[in-house]
A = this chain, B = another copy of it.
Amino acid sequence: MLLAEVTGSLGSIGYGLAAIGPGVGIGIIFGNGVQAMARQPEATGLIRQNMLLGFALAEALALIGVVMPFVFGK
């Protein structure tokens, strides 16, 4: 008799894995961004602009993980 009452969808695990990389990546982007602002405060606008561009592109990877279970079957 195998008694394993495990429930849930693998989609939750898929999203969790997909969020690891962007979580670290966004931290690296903003971490270096504030360092760059401290180096050249007058370039803050330029730095923030490109920082948020990178954030959006990295965040997209995690959000793709939200919709993939609907593509592959949840």
A→B interface (CB under 8 Å)? 1-41, 43-44, 46-48, 50-51, 53-55, 57-59, 61-62, 64-66, 68-69, 71-74
Instruction: Provide the bound-state CA to CA distance between A16 and B61, in Å.
Output: 9
Contact of A34 with B9 in the complex, beta carbons under 8 Å: no
Contact of B61 with A22 in the complex, beta carbons under 8 Å: yes
Q: 6 closest A-B pairs (Cβ-Cβ)?
A: A21-B23, A25-B27, A30-B54, A16-B17, A12-B14, A8-B10
Q: List 14 A-B contacts (CB under 8 A).
A: A1-B3, A6-B7, A6-B10, A8-B9, A8-B74, A10-B13, A18-B23, A20-B23, A23-B24, A28-B28, A30-B54, A34-B50, A35-B39, A59-B61
